[in-house]
Amino acid sequence: MELSNSVINVSCNNPMNLAITYGTPDNPDDGGNSWLYSWYFDIYIDGEYLTTLEDDGSDGDLRGFHDEIPASELPGVNYTWYIDVRYGTGEAEETFPMAFSGEVICTQEVTPAEPTFTDPCGPDNAYWTVPEPGEGYTYEESTDGDLLVVTAYASDGYSFADNATTMTWSAADSGEECPTTPTPEPTETSTSTPEPTTSPTDDTDTDTGVIDDSTGASPVPTTPLYAG
């Protein structure tokens, strides 16, 4: 079978056009008569069966087939496609898996940098550290009840994985109490008062010349000396 001159024309948000040319009637690879059978084109999008187009020759063109799948039946985002081709029935049936395949790019896929959540001990003090916007995406912060939310939005012409246009991160303040350090109890320390100490002193009265005896004995007067 020859399908090398066939063309599958498809692009984002446009129909898929099939312009199929079969092998010539005298081509031995076709058994000389494959162009006389009905042909079937099984269409798959992202690996999932979509529909089957049939060429039963009723259009009068036994050497080719032209048909299309409307854009409304195709994804409006990035997708892959392939077409299984078969013709004939019973023992005469021939199949050609993935005779045609391709990929439609509607948007450029980007991956936003993830924000970082910080939740110090104490109430109502958790926060997100949000990266700077990058090529093809921006960020927005919001709240949802007790949740602190960060949402990344894909810009026009861009998408995230699986053709998503938003990515969301959320977390809540735990309100965990901060640990406290117990205050040590005061301890009593004993202090001793030193015993008073006395030392003998000469307490002689300079007027009387009497020595004060601290032992309690009576003072003894002294005899003045006379010169003459």
Output the pLDDT for position 42: 96
- Sorted by where each begins, the domain ranges of the chain are 7-104, 109-172
SS3 206: coil
Q: Which two tokens stand for residue 162?
A: 């699986």
**Phi, psi (degrees; rounded to nearest 5) at 14:** -130, 160
- The whole-angstrom distance between residue 222's C-alpha and the CA centroid of its chain comes to 111
Query: Which tens digit of pLDDT belongs to each residue from 41-91?
Result: 999 999 999 999 998 877 667 678 899 999 999 998 899 999 999 887 777
Output the pLDDT for position 211: 52
**Residue 104 pLDDT level (bands cut at 50, 70, 90):** very high
Architecture of the 7-104 domain: Sandwich (2.60)
Tell me the mean pLDDT in the region 102-116. 94
Q: Say if CB 152 and CB 101 are below 8 A apart.
A: no
Pairing assessment for the beta strands 158-159 and 108-109 based on DSSP bridges:
parallel
Kindly write down the DSSP assignment for every residue of 87-118, as one continuous string.
Answer: ES-GGG-EEEEEEEEEEE-SSEE--PPPPEEE
Q: Say if CB 176 and CB 125 are below 8 A apart.
A: no
CA dist., res. 95 & res. 83, Å (int): 11
Residue ranges of alpha helices (H) inside the chain are none
CA dist., res. 56 & res. 65, Å (int): 9
Q: Is 60 exceeded by the pLDDT of residue 183? A: yes
**DSSP secondary-structure letter at 7?**
E
Q: What is the pTM of this model?
A: 0.57
